[in-house]
Chain A
Amino acid sequence: GNSVTQMEGPVTLSEEAFLTINCTYTATGYPSLFWYVQYPGEGLQLLLKATKADDKGSNKGFEATYRKETTSFHLEKGSVQVSDSAVYFCALRGAGANSKLTFGKGITLSVRP
């Protein structure tokens, strides 16, 4: 079946540091890939997505590239802010699946001033 593996957390960074959060997946066919973010006290919201190989999703300074050869979708940001402190979830929607998402375990990012 489909699965998503995220790097272990939590992650603590200083403001303006470079961020990488690793995500790899297992799926048949060509899944769509997502990063969702959950700010404290809120539900999840879509951060970015990529629906085919080599696509790059981007939003709010975050980027992730769909790498089929390495089955990865790592999240990056060049300069994090305190307001980026949140839980980040990598997810996939399998090819042929009817809107079902498979989520990774999530990773907590804390950015200190």
Chain B
Amino acid sequence: DVKVTQSSRYLVKRTGEKVFLECVQDMDHENMFWYRQDPGLGLRLIYFSYDVKMKEKGDIPEGYSVSREKKERFSLILESASTNQTSMYLCASSAPGPSSHTQYFGPGTRLTVL
């Protein structure tokens, strides 16, 4: 079974702090994604990566950055957390090619910024 794990289920940070959200997948997937999920807005893509050291902006990259130093790990960084970044953050991975239709999601990290 594909397993995508996220470093924390719940996280509370203060405004201005630097925040790291970690995601690890164990299926040797090339593609990895970070989304945020907000009520009434569904899932919105923040950043994605098709390979190590490669990243591309999604639909809402402002205020975020990412790091992909190893194939299995994709980190989301909030350089200076703000209250409007309080949200549920979901990581996903997928294989390349035709099987990339299916994305596998982690359980999510609920981040609260005070």
Contacts and interface: CB of A to CB of B under 8 A. Distances in A.
A49 B105 contact: no
Interface string A41-66: 11111100101000000000000000
A32 to B, nearest CB: 6
Contacts, number: 53
A27 interface: no
B67 interface: no
B42 A103 contact: yes
Interface in B68-98: 90, 92, 94, 96
A108 B50 CA distance: 32
A99 B103 contact: yes
Contacts of B58: 100
Contacts of A41: 107
Interface residues on B, range: 20 to 34
B50 A49 contact: no
A46 B102 contact: yes
A43 B108 contact: yes
Nearest to B35: A103
Contacts of B106: 43
A44 B90 contact: yes
> What's the interface size class on A, roughly?
20 to 34
B42 A104 contact: yes
24 contacts: A32-B101, A34-B101, A41-B107, A42-B107, A43-B105, A43-B108, A44-B43, A44-B92, A44-B103, A44-B105, A46-B103, A49-B101, A89-B42, A93-B101, A98-B31, A98-B50, A98-B100, A99-B50, A99-B96, A99-B100, A99-B103, A105-B40, A105-B41, A106-B43
Interface of A: 32, 34, 36, 41-46, 49, 51, 89, 93, 98-101, 103-106
Interface of B: 4, 31, 35, 40-45, 48, 50, 58, 90, 92, 94, 96, 100-108
